[in-house]
Amino acid sequence: MHRKKLPIGIQTFAKIREDDHYYVDKTQLIAQLIADGSHYFLSRPRRFGKSLLIDTLGELFAGNEPLFKGLFIHNQWDWSVKYPVIRLSFGGGVMQNRAELDDKIQELLTIVQKDLGIECGQQSQQACFAELIRTVHEKTGQRVVILVDEYDKPILDNLIYPEQAREIRNGLRNLYSVIKDCDAHVKFAMLTGVSKFSKVSLFSGLNNLRDITLSTQYSAICGYTDDDIDNVFLPELDGLDREKIRYWYNGYNWTGQPVYNPFDVLLLFKERQFKAYWFETATPTFLIDLLAKRGFFTPNLAAQQTNAELLSAFDVEQIGTEALLFQTGYLTIARIEEPLPDYWIYILGYPNHEVESSLNASLLSALGLDGQKALQNRLGLLSLLKANQFAAMEALFTAFFASIPHDWYRNNPIAQYEGYYASVFYSYFAALGLEIILEDTTNYGRIDMTVKFNQQVYLFEFKVVELVPNGKAVQQLLDKNYAAKYQALKQPIYLIGVEFSKESRSVVGFDYVEVAPTAHYSGQ
C-alpha cells in the first residue's frame, strides 16, 4: 500500500494535489452544490477544512484542470470556461477595533485589484468592492465568483468586548451587503465561518444566502467520514485500533452523515498516539468562563434540547449557550425528534470522547478549582477507583470541595443547588474519559449517575442535607433496585450514596453497598 504525505495544516488545494498528499475527494458534493444554487453560507467549527473547501472552489472556477484529474468532478466540468474569482479571508491576524478591520479590508481589496489587474477608482471600501465586481464582469465577460473565508473571525476575536465587536460587525455588514447589491454580476458566492450570526444583525443586506449548515445533504462537505478513513487512509491504519479511532474522534453531525475532525485524524496518523489534538489547539477561555458565569449544570451538557432557531440565535448582544457550544464544535446533533408534525427538536450531545473528557477537565477549573490541583485529584481518583478504596475516595472528594475558594461559592449562582455538587462529581469522572450514564437529571436537582469502569459498575445517588448525614442516598438506590438493570453484566456492582452539607459545603456522607457478585454493606 502506497503511503502518501499527511496534509497537516495544509489549506491549499494545489499543494495537496501536486505534492502527493492524501486528499479526500469532496468534488461530488461540490458539483451538487454548484448545480443546486449560487449563493451559500456554511458554518463549521475551527480546523474542519473550511479553508480547503474555499480554495478548492476557487481553483475549480478558475479552471485549473490538472489539479482535478482523477477526481469525481473532472469529467463533469466545462474546463473551457474560466471565471474571475474574488477571495477574501479574515483568518490572518487579530483585529481589535474598527480601524484595524478597515485596514484589513483595504489590504484584501488591494490584493484583489492586483490579482485581477483592475485599479479601483472609488474611495470608500464598500464602493470599491462593488466597482471591482462590476468592472471585472465587464472586462472578462464572465460573472464573478466571490469566496469569503472566516467571515466572522474579526467579531469572534472581540466577543468579550461587546462595543468593539458591534463596531466590527457593522463594518463587515457594510462589506457583505455589496454581494447582494451586485447580484447581477455574481456567478457564485460562498461565505464560511465558525459561527452563524443572525441574519438581522449581520446579513440583513445579504438575505439571499442559502444556509447549508444543517443541510443533511451537505453534512459531510467538510470532515472525514468512516468510509474516508477506511479507504483513503487505509495505509495509515496498521497498528491502530479502528474502534478506538471512532470512539475518540468520530461523531460530529449536522443532521446527516457523521464525520471526524480532519486535524485530529491526521495528527493521530502522524504521532500514533490518542490525544486531544483539536481541543488543545485553541479552546477559547471566554467559552469556559461563560459557562461558569451562567452556572451551567455540566451533566446537562450531554442532553441539550434545542431547535434550528435557537441554534441560530447568536449575536454580540445575545449568545445562547447551546448555540455557542454547537457552533464551536463542543456539542453536536446526537439525534432529531419530531414531537409535532414538521416541528423538529435537536438533541445535542458530545461528539466524541476527546471533547467530553477535555471539556469537563477544563470546566473543573471554571468550577473554582486550580488546574494543576484538579489534575492531581483526577489521577488520585483513578487510582482509588481501580482499588475500590471508598473511604479514601470520600476523603479525596471532601478535599476537592474544601479547596474551592469561598468567594466562588458566593459569586456563582449554581453553588446553592445540589446539582452543583453533582456537577463536580460528574466532571471528574467525565474528565477521566470513563463511560458514564446519566439516569435522572433535573434543573440543578438530583442526579443518578452510573459509571462503568474496570469490569465493574458504580451507581451514584447524590443528596443535599442540612448538616448531618442520614444514609437516605444509598437507601434510595436500594429501595428502587437500581442495580437490577446491570446484573446481567455479571460484574460487581456498587451502590454509592453521597451526601453533601450546604452548611459546610462538603461531603458529609459516603455510604456504599456491594450488591453483586457478593453482598456487603459499609456505612457511616
Q: Which residues pair with 192 in a beta bridge?
A: 42
Which residues are CB-neighbours of 356 under 8 A, at least 6 positions away?
302, 350, 430, 433
Least confidently predicted of 97-101, 232-236, 247-251, 431-435: 431-435
Q: Cα 72–75–80 angle (5° rounding)?
A: 130
> How many C-beta atoms surround the C-beta of residue 283 within 10 A?
18
| DSSP one-letter string for 211-227 | E-TT-GGGTTSSSB-HH
Q: HSE-up of 333 (CA within 13 Å, CB side)?
A: 24
What confidence score (pLDDT) does residue 292 get?
72
Q: Which residues pair with 511 in a beta bridge?
A: 497
What confidence score (pLDDT) does residue 483 get?
86
What confidence score (pLDDT) does residue 471 get?
77
Q: Between these two residues, 58 and 367, which has the higher pLDDT value?
A: 58
Report the relative pairing of strands 447-453 and 456-465 from DSSP bridges.
antiparallel
> How many C-beta atoms surround the C-beta of residue 453 within 10 A?
16
Question: Rounded to an integer, what distance in angstroms lies between the CA atom of residue 483 and that of residue 284?
Answer: 40
Q: Cα 344–350–354 angle (5° rounding)?
A: 155
* Predicted model pTM: 0.89
Question: Rounded to an integer, what distance in angstroms lies between the CA atom of residue 110 and that of residue 128?
Answer: 10
Question: Rounded to an integer, what distance in angstroms lies between the CA atom of residue 445 and that of residue 430?
Answer: 19
Query: Rounded to the nearest 10 degrees, what angle do helices 50-61 and 27-36 cross at?
Result: 70
Confidence band of 524 (pLDDT split at 50, 70, 90): very low
Give percent of the chain with pLDDT exceeding 90: 56
The residue whose grid cell reads 450570526 is: 197
| DSSP one-letter string for 468-524 | S--SHHHHHHHHTTGGGGGGGG-S-EEEEEEEEETTTTEEEEEEEEEEESS-EEE--
Question: Rounded to an integer, what distance in angstroms lies between the CA atom of residue 209 and that of residue 186?
Answer: 12
Cell of 355: 471533547
| DSSP one-letter string for 349-407 | E--SHHHHHHHHHHHHHHTT--HHHHHHHHHHHHHHHHHT-HHHHHHHHHHHHHTS-HH
Radius of gyration of the chain (CA): 27
Contact 127, 181 (CB under 8 A): no
In the 8-state DSSP scheme, what is residue 451? E
What confidence score (pLDDT) does residue 412 get?
63
How large is the average pLDDT for residues 418-439? 82
Contact 331, 48 (CB under 8 A): no
Q: Tens digit of pLDDT for each residue in 172-186?
A: 989 999 998 999 999
Residue 476: is its pLDDT beyond 90? no
Q: Between these two residues, 465 and 394, which has the higher pLDDT value?
A: 394
State the distance between the two ends of the chain, measured CA to CA, in whole angstroms: 62
In CATH terms, 25-218 corresponds, of 1.10.540, 3.40.50, 3.30.160, 1.10.10, to 3.40.50
Residue 259: is its pLDDT beyond 90? yes
Residue 401: is its pLDDT beyond 70? yes
> How many C-beta atoms surround the C-beta of residue 483 within 10 A?
18
What confidence score (pLDDT) does residue 203 get?
63
Give percent of the chain with pLDDT exceeding 70: 90
Residue 444: is its pLDDT beyond 50? no
The residue whose grid cell reads 466524541 is: 352
> How many C-beta atoms surround the C-beta of residue 371 within 10 A?
11
Task: Give the DSSP H/E element, type plus range, for residue 346.
Answer: strand 343-349
In the 8-state DSSP scheme, what is residue 143? P
Give the highest mean pLDDT range of 40-44, 197-201, 296-300, 310-314.
40-44
Confidence band of 426 (pLDDT split at 50, 70, 90): confident
Q: HSE-up of 51 (CA within 13 Å, CB side)?
A: 17
Fold of 370-522: Trna Endonuclease; Chain: A, domain 1 (3.40.1350)
- Is 370-522 in the same CATH topology as 25-218? no
Backbone angles phi, psi at 105, to 5 degrees: -60, -45
Backbone angles phi, psi at 448, to 5 degrees: -100, 130
Which residues are CB-neighbours of 70 under 8 A, at least 6 positions away?
none
With 0-12 / 13-18 / 19 or more C-beta atoms within 10 angstroms meaning exposed / middle / buried, residue 226 is middle
Question: Rounded to an integer, what distance in angstroms lies between the CA atom of residue 277 and that of residue 249?
Answer: 10
Domain ranges of the chain: 25-218, 370-522
In the 8-state DSSP scheme, what is residue 21? B
Q: Tens digit of pLDDT for each residue in 310-359?
A: 777 677 777 788 888 898 899 999 999 888 888 889 999 999 999 999 99
